[in-house]
Amino acid sequence: MSYKESCQKWLDFKGLPDYLRDEIIAMDDKTKEDAFYTNLEFGTAGMRGLIGAGTNRINIYVVRQATEGLAQLIESKGDEAKKRGVAIAYDSRHFSQEFAFESAQVLANHGIKAYVFESLRPTPELSFAVRHLHTFAGIMVTASHNPAPFNGYKVYGEDGGQMPPADADALTDYIRAIDNPFEIVLADLEEAKASGLIEVIGEAVDSEYLKEVADVNINKDLIEQYGKDMKIVYTPLHGTGEMLARRALANADFASVQVVEAQATPDPDFSTVKSPNPESQAAFALAEELGRQVDADVLVATDPDADRLGVEIRQADGSYKNLSGNQIGAIIAKYILEAHKTAGTLPENAALAKSIVSTELVTKIAESYGATMFNVLTGFKFIAEKIQEFEEKHNHTYMFGFEESFGYLIKPFVRDKDAIQAVLIVAEIAAYYRSRGMTLADGIEEIYKEYGYYAEKTISVTLSGVDGAAQIKAIMDKFRDNAPTQFNKTDIVLLEDFEKQTATSKDGSVTQLTTPPSNVLKYLLADDSWFAVRPSGTEPKIKFYIATVGSSLENAEEKIANIEKEINAFVG
pLDDT at 514 over 70: yes
One domain, residues 229 and 376 = yes
One domain, residues 282 and 384 = yes
Share the mean pLDDT of the chain: 95
Q: What percent of the chain has pLDDT over 70?
A: 99
- Pick 183 or 539 by higher pLDDT: 183
Q: What is the mean pLDDT of residues 367-382?
A: 95
Range of the domain at 298: 214-451
Residue ranges of alpha helices (H) inside 122-202 are: 123-133, 165-176, 189-195
Active site residues: 144
pLDDT at 316: 87
One domain, residues 457 and 437 = no
CATH label of the domain that carries residue 382 = 3.40.120.10
One domain, residues 152 and 218 = no
Strand, coil or helix: 98: helix
d(CA 449, CA 453): 7
CATH label of the domain that carries residue 566 = 3.30.310.50
Residue 423 lies in a domain: yes
Residue 190 lies in a domain: yes
Q: What is the mean pLDDT of residues 348-368?
A: 98
One domain, residues 195 and 257 = no
Q: Are 105 and 86 in contact (CB under 8 A)?
A: no
Structure confidence at residue 333 as a pLDDT band (50, 70, 90): very high
Residue 188 lies in a domain: yes
One domain, residues 378 and 488 = no
Structure confidence at residue 41 as a pLDDT band (50, 70, 90): confident
Structure confidence at residue 538 as a pLDDT band (50, 70, 90): low
Last residue in a domain, options 395, 421, 451: 451
One domain, residues 173 and 235 = no
Strand, coil or helix: 549: strand
Residue 398 lies in a domain: yes
Q: Please list the residues that pair with 43 across neighbouring strands.
A: 46
Structure confidence at residue 391 as a pLDDT band (50, 70, 90): very high
Structure confidence at residue 165 as a pLDDT band (50, 70, 90): confident
One domain, residues 219 and 350 = yes
Strand, coil or helix: 441: helix
One domain, residues 447 and 457 = no
pLDDT at 456: 97
Last residue in a domain, options 425, 451, 477: 451
pLDDT at 359: 97
Last residue in a domain, options 205, 223, 245: 205
pLDDT at 43: 65
pLDDT at 468: 86
Residue 342 lies in a domain: yes
Q: How many CB atoms lie within 10 A of CB 275?
A: 17
d(CA 127, CA 34): 33
One domain, residues 418 and 494 = no
Q: What is the mean pLDDT of residues 265-274?
A: 96
Q: What percent of the chain has pLDDT over 90?
A: 91
pLDDT at 6 over 70: yes
Residue 29 lies in a domain: no
d(CA 466, CA 472): 10
State the sign of the Cα–Cα–Cα–Cα dihedral 403, 407, 413, 414.
Answer: negative
d(CA 374, CA 383): 9
Count: domains in the chain: 3
Q: Is the pTM of this model over 0.85?
A: yes
Residue 16 lies in a domain: no
d(CA 16, CA 478): 44
Q: What is the mean pLDDT of residues 234-241?
A: 98
Q: What is the mean pLDDT of residues 302-330?
A: 96
Residue 8 lies in a domain: no
pLDDT at 45: 62
One domain, residues 471 and 445 = no
Which residues touch 291 (CB under 8 Å, ≥6 apart)?
Answer: 233, 299, 312, 314, 320
pLDDT tens figures, 543-570: 999 999 999 999 999 999 999 999 999 9
How would you class 337 by CB atoms within 10 Å of its CB: exposed for 0-12, middle for 13-18, buried for 19 or more?
buried
One domain, residues 315 and 402 = yes
